[in-house]
Amino acid sequence: MKDALAIHRALLEWEAVHEIVRLPVAISHADELPKALGLPAERCLVTRVYACDGGRRGRRFLTGVIVPAGERPVVEAVRRTVGARTVRPAHPDLVNAVTEYAAGLVCPLLLPDTMPLLIDHRLADGLNSDDVVYTATGEASTALGIRGSSLYALCHAKPVDPLAPPAVPAPAATPETTHSRT
């Protein structure tokens, strides 16, 4: 399993300024980071993992979505962005096996190349180069503190609006509604 040490080593190799923070209490999910660190939710990021069924021959894959702690993307927005037929929260066993992180504590770094990663566009657009954000490390007792712009550059996530309501298709016209009645 990947952990804070694996993340730390990779960030040293990439020469990225960061800090591994020891949490005062153990957490079971990244949504608990704001309370554990005493920070606003928008400074604590969660990587939510979804199982997707692709459009071609049932290709299955995982995708991650980086959002502020406590927020959940609209599943339909994720489905449209990755071009899947169906999207649902991934089962913890699958998350553990594919990402090599503990489910609920997934870091947006060191994920498989086959796993598309999306980020809430508000985070990507609103990150000042010096703003530090915190994310899970795969461990219950640590968090990663890193400049938001560095995290965004290193994780190669695609900015999206994961909270956008799904577009409602126009109702199909029927022959009786397209002709005027006399």
Q: Which of 7, 1, 5 is nearest to 107 (CA)?
A: 7
Mean pLDDT value of segment 18-23: 98
Query: What are the tens digits of pLDDT across the range 71-105?
Result: 999 999 999 999 999 999 999 999 999 999 999 99
Residue 181 is predicted with a pLDDT of 39
Residue 177 is predicted with a pLDDT of 43
Residue 178 has pLDDT above 50, yes or no: no
Using a cut of 0.95, tell me whether the model's pTM lies above it. Answer: no
Residue 163 is predicted with a pLDDT of 76
Which segment of 60-69, 114-123, 156-165 scores lowest on mean pLDDT?
Answer: 156-165
Name the pLDDT band for 127 (thresholds 50, 70, 90). Answer: low
Residue 165 is predicted with a pLDDT of 59
Query: What are the tens digits of pLDDT across the range 164-173?
Result: 755 544 444 4
Residue 129 has pLDDT above 70, yes or no: no
